[in-house]
Amino acid sequence: MTDKASAKAGGISRRRFIGAAGALGVAATAGGVLSRPLRSHATAGNPTKIRLSWTEFAACHSPVAYGVSEGVYARHGLDVELFYQGSSGQTLIQSIATDKTDAGAGLLYDWVKPLEQGLDVKLFVGSHGGCTRLLASKSSGIEKLEDLKGRKIASYDVASPPKHSFQVALAKAGLDPERDVEWLNVPFDLVGEGVGRGEADALAHLDPWAYAHKKKFDLHEVYNTQSGVFDGAVCCVLGVNANFLEANRDAVRRLAEANIELHEFAAANPDKVADWFVKNLNPGFPLEDIHDNIASWDLHNHPVGKELVDQVEWAADDLALIKVLDPTTNSRELAERVTIDILA
């Protein structure tokens, strides 16, 4: 068992307990029309307002929006308002750092470099694992990472998290992730077309787009961020503005508990979350695809405390391996500095 898998197995009981205790109260059906920004008011007491950044059409954020619509955050004494900051993870992160929003959900690989550079944000809870895929055309003969040597891989940005993820996997498989493969930078919406037209042999992308490309172009799934070296790794993590945290620590704790509850609910009820997401956000993907996406992720993987520190350290080591981080950065010190044990 890998270190990541060991940490996942060792901490699951506490996460499942929190999730099971809360998920029983989540409404079974979804309804209403989504407005922008989406907001849910607590029904009693003095709710704490939290402006939460998210990526609206990323299916892995669907539990967050479902929780706002169905009053889950409200039952935790929170008045959560969702703000769409665009498809770029860096834009989302900067919105938190510049006080445009208070907290947000983003890919861990997106968080680490800005945090190394001094971003005044603390990571406090993970959401899930496995929303990124490496796919190849069946005619390419690519079955495993080693088969990608000398091949072309399409991705949507020179520093996208999918590219970084599979550069790490390639490096750990003994390949040079820059010299042994050729990376093609293509528009976000055209990653699949590059493989479909034969301009690339493989692609690296996020769900739901990756899953849609897999079906449309009949691609083979070579790797994903639940398999191999990513077994037990968290994919998306919530961060909070440090000043907001200092003034509202208990509210951030309740936000973490609600996040865990929602992802446990989504794990048990992917049909309900998918149905709400498609009906209210009209993401342009069929209900079956969104359901299959949600059901395929590790929604029990939401580390807090030491488990989260371990995950950030591993991510920092991974990014140092592919020369994204400064080689002098101490990954453990970085992980301890940029996380908060919010449930302690």
The whole-chain average pLDDT of the chain stands at 86
pLDDT in tens, 260-311: 999 999 999 999 999 999 999 878 899 999 999 999 999 999 999 999 999 9
Q: What pLDDT sits at residue 87?
A: 60
Share of the chain above pLDDT 90, in %: 74
Q: How many CA atoms lie within 13 A of 73 on its CB side?
A: 27
Q: What pLDDT sits at residue 13?
A: 32
Integer Cα distance of 282 and 149 in angstroms: 39
| Selected residue with higher pLDDT from 238 and 1 | 238
| CA max distance for the chain | 61
Residue 122: CB partners within 8 Å, gap ≥ 6? Answer: 239, 240, 242, 245, 338, 339, 340
3-state secondary structure of 276: helix
pLDDT in tens, 169-199: 999 999 999 999 999 999 988 999 999 999 9
Q: What pLDDT sits at residue 189?
A: 87
Q: Phi then psi for 42, rounded to 5 degrees?
A: -65, 150
Q: What pLDDT sits at residue 86?
A: 61
Q: How many CB atoms lie within 10 A of CB 328?
A: 6
Q: How far apart are the first and last CA of the chain?
A: 27
With vertex at residue 245, the alpha carbon angle to CA 335 and CA 265, rounded to the nearest 5 degrees, is: 80
| 229 pLDDT more than 70 | yes
pLDDT in tens, 6-24: 444 333 333 332 333 333 3
In this structure, what token pair is assigned to residue 67? 């929780």
Q: What pLDDT sits at residue 18?
A: 35
Q: What pLDDT sits at residue 17?
A: 29
Specify the DSSP class assigned to residue 47.
Answer: P
| 256 pLDDT more than 60 | yes
- Share in percent of the chain as helix, strand, coil (round to 5): 50, 20, 35
